[in-house]
Each structure stands twice: as C-alpha cells, then as structure tokens.
Amino acid sequence: MLAIDTLWEKGKNFLGTRYPIIVGAMTWISTANFVARIANEGAFACLAAGNLDPAFLRKEILKIQSQTTNPFGLNLITIAPNYRRHLQLAVELQVPYIIFAGSYPRGPEIKLAKESGARVLSFASTETLARRLIDMGIDALILEGSEAGGHVGHVSLIVLLQQVLFQVQDVPIFVAGGIASGRLIPYFLLMGAAGVQMGTYFVMTEECEAHPRFKEAFIRARARDAVATPQIGSELRVVAVRALRNKGLDKFAELQIELIQKRRRREISHEEAQYQVENFWVGALRRAVQEGDVDYGSLMAGQSVGLVNQVRPLKAALAHLVKEAEEEWQRLRKLCKNYL
C-alpha cells in the first residue's frame, strides 16, 4: 500500500481505478486499444468520440468492453454533428462514464446519461458554470487550463484552481493542463482536487498508436512551441486549439484571410466559410497522427510537451508518475512534521 493512497482515495473511489489519473481523450489517438491498455494498467482512459461515424464508434466501444473489465470513459463533443447519436449509443451500450466536452450539456442530456447507470463528468471554467452543472446533476468536474493541448479555453489552470477548485467542494474535481510530473500531484490533492488529467505525457508511450514522426516532434519541442491557433479578425469564429507551431499553423492563418476575402466578395456563405475553418483541424490532426505529416498536419500538444523527451512503455510511464507522487508526498509529510 502506498502512503499517498489515503490522499487520493476520493478520486480512486469515484473512478473505480487503482490511480486517480485520467488520460484525456485525444481524437485519433485515444483508440479502443489504447484505452483498454490504460484501463488494464490501473489508470482511467477516455475514448474520444469526436465526430466519428456512429457505426465505427460502436465497434470501438465494444472492442474496449471485450479487452477490459475496468472502468473507462467516453468523451462526447456536444457541438459535434453526431453528438446526439453518440449519446444514445453511450446509453445503449451502458458506457460506465460519460464526459461532456466542447460546451456544457443540457439538463435532459445529463439525466439521460445518468439513467443509463453512467457517472457523468463535464468541464467547467467558472464557479457559476460549475454550480449550474452540479444543480443539473453532474457527478464530477474537470478543470482544464489553457496550458493543455487540443481545444482549450483562455484561462490558465493556476487561475481556475482559485476560481473553481477553492470555491466548490460539492463534487470531485479533477484538474488538467500543463501536468507532466508526478511530483505535482500531491499538491493538487492537498488543494482539494480528486485527481489529475493528462494527455501529452501519455502520447509519449509505446502503446500510443500515433505515428513515430508525431512523437519525434514532441521530443524536439519546447514548451513555448505549443501555441494557440491564431484568429484573424472577428468575422469567423475560431475555437482555440493548442498545437506545435509548424507550416500548417501558417496555412491556417492564410486560410482565414482567404475565406474572409471570399465572404466580402460574396463568393461563399458564412456557413460554408465556418465549416472550412472547423474542418481544417479535423483533417490536419488525422494526417499528423496517422500519416506523420509534421509539416502541415496538426501537432496538438499541451505546453507540458517541453517536459517530455522520451518514449517508454505505458506501464513504465505510469509507474514513474506514481513513484514521483509517492516520493513527493513522503517528503512533504516529513517536512510538515519539522514545522509542527
């Protein structure tokens, strides 16, 4: 038994896992095989629904269920065109945990998910939103700072801790964004977090099926290389995506300028222009992850990419996190005794 087991007991009990460490959902990366392997190692993994074809998503869920009996989550993007079909599928197949992302879910959707027996989580960026979600029946929250990779908000984790974690104790709260060290975990737990969510760290494992060139780009990158996508003007809505700077990022800026000019010349509708903006990253991410296009593909990564520099087996990566967390907790206990 670890000394830190008592400190992170709340998160363990909620997730039903050996460790309250969530491996965040990453489109094209969080595949069924990867999720099952993470679950079997004692952490908590999330299958990324994205906007997958429902028939394919069904196969992925069933594949996970055939490879592990441990809990896992399904991350649903509430603004995805296939969202409602994904939610119905999660309910039908009795996915044990449902995570709402993209935007906050509506009350009836939370109720539908919970009636299937699932525990329900959602992201929150303010105390007001957190309390609203809790009133609607949400079981747990995730605070994700802007340091994280992929689609992100505009507020850092250090601020979210003060805005939400320190103010809300009604449900378990997991924290995410910029975490790549087990040494940090005890501090978050002492502040009231139930556990942590990490993504970039786990991309750098042998079991992650991302292309080798994708991982090589992570090894070379520094923290400041992971930047939020630029928005040109205000005519098109751009949801911030944090990724490594490359030629694709420049191309995205050029695409926005081109679409804005076409809109002004009435050569394209606003809806079509917006679709092209959103579709750009879907294809770019797939090319990077599956084909290794590191020049023009989307290398979605958190700023913690500057802290990861090797690819190792999943078991070893997880054990390293736990060892660091345990050792830091032991150090803190001794330190506190010296001042009591």
In angstroms, the Cα distances linking 129 to 190, 221, 242 are: 23, 34, 23
| 8 Å CB contact between 49 and 74 | yes
The answer to which of 7-21, 108-122, 128-142, 232-246 has the lowest mean pLDDT is 232-246
Q: Three-state SS for 122?
A: strand
**Averaged pLDDT for residues 29-50:** 96
Inform me whether the pLDDT recorded for 255 exceeds 90: no
What pLDDT does 160 receive?
A: 95
**For residue 188, how far is the Cα from the chain centroid?**
17
- Model-level pTM? 0.93
Inform me whether the pLDDT recorded for 238 exceeds 80: no
What pLDDT does 339 receive?
A: 74
Distance CA 250, CA 186 (A): 39
Q: Counting runs of H as helices and runs of E as strands, what totals does the chain give? A: 13, 11
The answer to which of 9-18, 94-103, 118-127, 275-284 has the lowest mean pLDDT is 275-284
Inform me whether the pLDDT recorded for 176 exceeds 70: yes
Q: Which residues contact 164 (CB under 8 A, 6 or more apart)?
A: 124, 125, 126, 127, 130, 141, 143, 173
Encode burial over 93-132: b for 16+ CB neighbours within 10 A, e otherwise.
Answer: eebbbbbbbbebbeeebbebbbebebbbbbbbbebeebee
Inform me whether the pLDDT recorded for 196 exceeds 70: yes
**Averaged pLDDT for residues 161-187:** 96
Structure tokens at 167: 């103010």
Question: Would you say domain 3-198+310-339 falls under CATH 3.20.20.70?
Answer: yes
The share of the chain scoring above pLDDT 90, in percent, equals 77
| 8 Å CB contact between 316 and 218 | no
pLDDT band with cut points at 50, 70 and 90 for residue 140:
very high
What pLDDT does 273 receive?
A: 82
* Phi and psi at residue 273, to the nearest 5°: -65, -45
* Phi and psi at residue 77, to the nearest 5°: -90, 110
Inform me whether the pLDDT recorded for 48 exceeds 90: yes
Amino acid at 254: E
Q: Three-state SS for 76?
A: strand
Q: Which of 182, 162, 203 is nearest to 48 (CA)?
A: 203
What pLDDT does 58 receive?
A: 98
What pLDDT does 271 receive?
A: 81
Amino acid at 66: S
What pLDDT does 252 receive?
A: 85
Arithmetic mean of pLDDT over the chain: 93
The answer to which of 58-72, 220-234, 302-316 has the lowest mean pLDDT is 220-234
Q: Where are the domains of the chain?
A: 3-198+310-339, 224-303
Highest mean pLDDT of the ranges 46-55, 148-157, 331-340: 46-55
**Averaged pLDDT for residues 133-148:** 96
DSSP 104: P
pLDDT band with cut points at 50, 70 and 90 for residue 340:
low
